[in-house]
């Protein structure tokens, strides 16, 4: 793929993961999610969409930075497929949690997701530190979401 297409491909792939995941989310009065006992540290629902929009943008920027490296440099060739694999874990969590209501299995998925983000950050650090810095807020948010998932599992 030529470098001209890498920016739109980075944006489309990152936000597509978010879009696919959003198809499985149902919240509000009378839904399964509404019936769950939730921890006191759960932010208001209005926080999640803006946070995820920013995080998917940061993920896209990190992907573009790494993907735009010198095509003769082989250092990024393992990182880019890992990025796309981690998007499957990202979508998988939403499907497991909201789609199948499998709170514990979703917890296992989100732990794997956090680990994969840490691996991406370490790999990006060796290639281009800017990309690593862009992924840190994502890791922090996923760690927070991991705590939320664990608390919901424990409370229910």
> What architecture is domain 3-155?
Up-down Bundle (1.20)
Q: In this predicted model, what pLDDT tens digit does every residue of 107-141 receive, in sequence order?
A: 999 999 999 999 999 999 989 999 999 999 999 99
Could you tell me which residues come within 8 angstroms of residue 71 by beta carbon, excluding any fewer than 6 positions away? 3
Tell me the average pLDDT of the chain: 93
112 in Cβ contact with 89 (< 8 Å): yes
Band (pLDDT 50/70/90 cuts) for residue 72 is low
10 in Cβ contact with 63 (< 8 Å): yes
């Amino acid at each position: 793929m030529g470098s001209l297409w890498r920016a739109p491909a980075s944006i489309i792939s990152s936000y597509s993961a978010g879009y696919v995941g959003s198809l499985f989310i149902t919240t509000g009065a009378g839904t399964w999610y509404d019936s769950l006992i939730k921890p006191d540290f759960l932010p208001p629902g209005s926080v999640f969409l803006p946070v995820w929009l920013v995080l998917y943008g940061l993920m896209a920027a990190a992907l573009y930075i790494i993907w735009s490296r010198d095509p003769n440099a082989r250092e990024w060739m393992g990182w880019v497929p890992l990025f796309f694999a981690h998007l499957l874990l990202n979508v998988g969590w939403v499907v497991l949690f909201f789609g199948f209501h499998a709170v514990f299995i979703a917890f296992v998925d989100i732990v794997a997701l956090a680990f994969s983000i840490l691996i991406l950050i370490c790999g990006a650090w060796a290639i281009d530190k800017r990309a690593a810095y862009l992924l840190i807020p994502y890791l922090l948010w996923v760690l927070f979401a991991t705590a939320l998932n664990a608390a919901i599992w424990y409370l229910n």
